[in-house]
Structure 1
């Protein structure tokens, strides 16, 4: 509520003229905000101070339009990452001819973006914990969109590979940071449901990429020349896939505030107060309510530590030591029981999901030429499979249906997350995913393969959504983005290995990677049982 400076005149809240709470003799490190009555020299009574924890301050800001807007903006960013990742899988059946790719080359191409994500994940996550979530999101989304778009014009395979790698560096930053950023605005009792809702936008990105591939790539008349470059339909598709990331970066730069939880940890009191007031104003718009004046109670020890981390370090060894500090903390005595199972789960689910998902269009292309994904094709069928034109539209239709099969799993996750808990959902989902992949290997008809692929899509997305919720809630603010960045980076190593294994074995014996995927998912299901319970826990 604005302070009254003279009769009838009001001045803005953040003028710096109100007295701040004295921290010199306070040892209440858990108290984050102190609510005061307005400083009114004439006619206001002195009110009792109400001290709020961070979670209570989030509750006081209300829940409403601000959070739904935040869901749309963060969801679009999450969808843009999905589009950029899976677009490679849809261009393989046609781009392999224009870029003269072998199966091993296609494995490297699908792995390149994950290699970039491995590099970017931890670096961007660390920067987000040190410099703020919002700025890192703007830069990482810009890198993703810019280099993803440039890849559409790459005339040589090695250049296309390099640009996809750099695009992956951007994707690696936005995925872990977006969930940290989003969770730090959410009330505790709604956090699981809202993070699950955010995760559903990954499905939206998959559907968007599959729909664009279906609409654009088979249209071979979409073709023009830029200099010596023959810009075919699959290149137009790659360029269109970069648009969501660019628009997300612009929206974050123009509209979205920094996380108030990060601002509190960084000692930026005035900025954090301003964000909470923005949230309250939008959530209560038209109701005539006002948020009473409060000031931020900053932990002096954390403020000193933040100041120290901002001092430039002249030696490379000191920089590396500081950068490795979050990993040492994650695997220290207090967090080891959380970090080890999560590392195993991220590795197993990434190897299994991305190792198989990125090859679905290629496997279905083989189904069209043969009888099952792993069946030996006749010479005639192999020759037909190597012909990229005319484009086989059925492959993209099937890819669209598999992406749409995420919808039931996403709806189920939103409804069940806060009631069942992420740990149980994660374990059961990985178990069912393992079973569905094993059955994909067993079946012998096209319709059975499509049905089981849709089943895998529907149940595996429950595991991904649950994993995002669990990993977000288990770590404190100063480690949250670094931890998610580290684990997603480990997942990218697994995704790279999964794609390389598929690329090298899909021609000789694709049963081996498919059965390996099933075994990895089963290992992840068992590891999830060792995680601590995190349902509706407070963020630290």
Structure 2
């Protein structure tokens, strides 16, 4: 790799190849996975109240239907991240798509509450692979336009939420919750149909020493985009680092799949299974970023899913508390119109993200949106008319959509390729803990006629998340992705 021979990195190759037809197809595939996850999450707003009515469940049992999905995601996000970093991005997301589509479809036929809980937990385990798809797509995008295209990718989530709200509005009154569960599993099945044509990440291949395979993928990108690869030899950050430190080339050999038994301690830290990967995330160079990111993911998920659920619970909850004699009648009443309208709040959130993320940077954009969300929620500490409540929740949803979009751009950028999906997966797992707690605590407070306490709790969580963003150690706008911790 040395001397006079010119060389180029994956980042330099992607900049030369540009964003073209190849990336559009990758975007469409990864976006379908994001649509699937959004639909499976949004349907929780509708299925819980319907099942509660059908099977006579308590409010805690209804909340558990939501919480077990997040519990599954907690396991899945960490597990699929490790699978993806060890065996490849493609293997990671094919397993998750299979689990999600099968469990999602079968849950429509649940004969009782226990079977529904088990199957929805399996759906959550599959949905935990979402960060694998986002990291996979990220690794195909040229660095200068990475922020903007990741916002476009996030738009598929919004598309999924609106599609699910529309589907529920049509299906629930006519066909019931079982049909909604079955139809919502279809996007995951589409991932399986087109899996064979998906490419592996050239950055991952390069890291694993499979340079010729990486070049084949880059040549395919060049053909589809009508551009040319730079002249010279493809090298990775890891190879450059080995040259600089004069470490024998056996380290590169050790990165190849299936050869991980006889690795050095240094390579174990970043390329074997769970505990060693976690140690890398908590190493001195990454610890601050990792811990702050965990808090932000927790706050983001707690707030986002809380606002989604509050849209269907807050007004109904206040009516229940004022008319307790009608409680059982109102408990299954979901205002599909309000949920549908609130879903459109995600479009302005995406636009704000697109405008600010590459101009103002990730940190400033995220922190500003967190603090603005606090301002929108503040009036809801006191009782407000239904129209104003919906409007304020709409504004808060805009802000929290923007922060969620940006943190999913920032998170993969702060980690090296060797632990990228594991890092994002573990952070996403922390978010799932927020998702587990949210329906049990925040929404439970609303159903228990403690609306003010619920809103105050959201205010505290969102404000602390904004403070953590301010404390992030560095900005990633325009930075190249690294392949190893040292680089």
TM-score (norm 2): 0.90
1:91 is displaced (CA, Å) by: 1.9
| Partner residue in 2 for 1:411 | 351
- Verify: 1:385 aligned to 2:327, yes or no: no
Is contact 1:273–1:295 with CA below 8 Å preserved after alignment? no
| Partner residue in 1 for 2:384 | 444
CA distance, structure 2, for counterparts of residue 52 and residue 291 of structure 1 = 9
Residue pairs, 1:258-277, within 5 angstroms: 258-277=200-219
Q: What is the aligned residue count? A: 463
CA distance, structure 2, for counterparts of residue 493 and residue 376 of structure 1 = 29
| Partner residue in 2 for 1:129 | 85
Is contact 2:307–2:397 with CA below 8 Å preserved after alignment? no
SS of 1:218's equivalent?
Answer: helix
| Partner residue in 1 for 2:360 | 420
Return 5+ residue gaps in structure 1 as ranges: 1-22, 29-47, 223-232
1:49 is displaced (CA, Å) by: 4.3
Residue pairs, 1:30-41, within 5 angstroms: none
- Verify: 1:510 aligned to 2:451, yes or no: yes
- Verify: 1:539 aligned to 2:481, yes or no: yes
The correspondence for 2:155, drawn from 200, 203, 213, is 200
SS of 2:471's equivalent?
Answer: coil
- Verify: 1:147 aligned to 2:103, yes or no: yes
Is contact 1:116–1:168 with CA below 8 Å preserved after alignment? yes
- Verify: 1:282 aligned to 2:224, yes or no: yes
SS of 1:419's equivalent?
Answer: coil
1:87 is displaced (CA, Å) by: 0.8
1:505 is displaced (CA, Å) by: 2.7
- Verify: 1:244 aligned to 2:149, yes or no: no
Return 5+ residue gaps in structure 2 as ranges: 240-248, 483-487
| Partner residue in 1 for 2:252 | 302
| Partner residue in 2 for 1:471 | 411
| Partner residue in 2 for 1:519 | 460
| Partner residue in 2 for 1:324 | 275
Cα deviation code 1:343-388 (max 9, x no counterpart): 1111122222223323432334335xx2xxxx722234324314x4
1:453 is displaced (CA, Å) by: 1.2
- Verify: 1:484 aligned to 2:419, yes or no: no
SS of 2:128's equivalent?
Answer: helix
- Verify: 1:255 aligned to 2:197, yes or no: yes
Rate the CA distance shift 1:203–1:292 in 2: closer, same or farther, 3 A.
Answer: closer
Is contact 1:107–1:502 with CA below 8 Å preserved after alignment? no
CA distance, structure 1, for counterparts of residue 106 and residue 162 of structure 2 = 23
1:308 is displaced (CA, Å) by: 7.0
1:432 is displaced (CA, Å) by: 1.4
| Partner residue in 2 for 1:50 | 6
CA distance, structure 1, for counterparts of residue 456 and residue 93 of structure 2 = 37
Q: Report the structure number with the largest CA radius of gyration.
A: 1
Runs of 4+ in 1 over 6 A off after TM superposition: 318-321
Is contact 1:176–1:481 with CA below 8 Å preserved after alignment? yes
Segment drifting more, 82-91 vs 437-446: 437-446
Is contact 2:210–2:256 with CA below 8 Å preserved after alignment? no
Is contact 1:262–1:477 with CA below 8 Å preserved after alignment? yes
Rate the CA distance shift 1:85–1:283 in 2: closer, same or farther, 3 A.
Answer: same
SS of 2:7's equivalent?
Answer: strand
Alpha-carbon RMSD across the aligned residues, in angstroms, is: 2.3
| Partner residue in 1 for 2:22 | 66
Rate the CA distance shift 1:520–1:359 in 2: closer, same or farther, 3 A.
Answer: same
1:330 is displaced (CA, Å) by: 1.2
Rate the CA distance shift 1:359–1:246 in 2: closer, same or farther, 3 A.
Answer: farther
Is contact 1:356–1:517 with CA below 8 Å preserved after alignment? no
| Partner residue in 2 for 1:333 | 284
| Partner residue in 2 for 1:209 | 164
| Partner residue in 1 for 2:317 | 366
CA distance, structure 2, for counterparts of residue 488 and residue 254 of structure 1 = 27
Cα deviation code 1:261-287 (max 9, x no counterpart): 001011112211111011111111xxx
1:472 is displaced (CA, Å) by: 1.3
Cα deviation code 1:34-76 (max 9, x no counterpart): xxxxxxxxxxxxxx84311221111222321112222222112
| Partner residue in 2 for 1:343 | 294
User: If each structure's helix is expressed as a fraction of its own residues, which one has the higher value?
Assistant: 2
1:195 is displaced (CA, Å) by: 0.9
- Verify: 1:107 aligned to 2:63, yes or no: yes
The correspondence for 1:429, drawn from 369, 378, 390, is 369
Segment drifting more, 203-212 vs 340-349: 340-349
Is contact 1:66–1:282 with CA below 8 Å preserved after alignment? yes
Is contact 2:311–2:390 with CA below 8 Å preserved after alignment? no
1:293 is displaced (CA, Å) by: 6.9
Cα deviation code 1:109-162 (max 9, x no counterpart): 111110000001111001100100012111101111110111111011111011
TM-score (norm 1): 0.81
Residue pairs, 1:172-187, within 5 angstroms: 172-173=128-129, 175-187=130-142
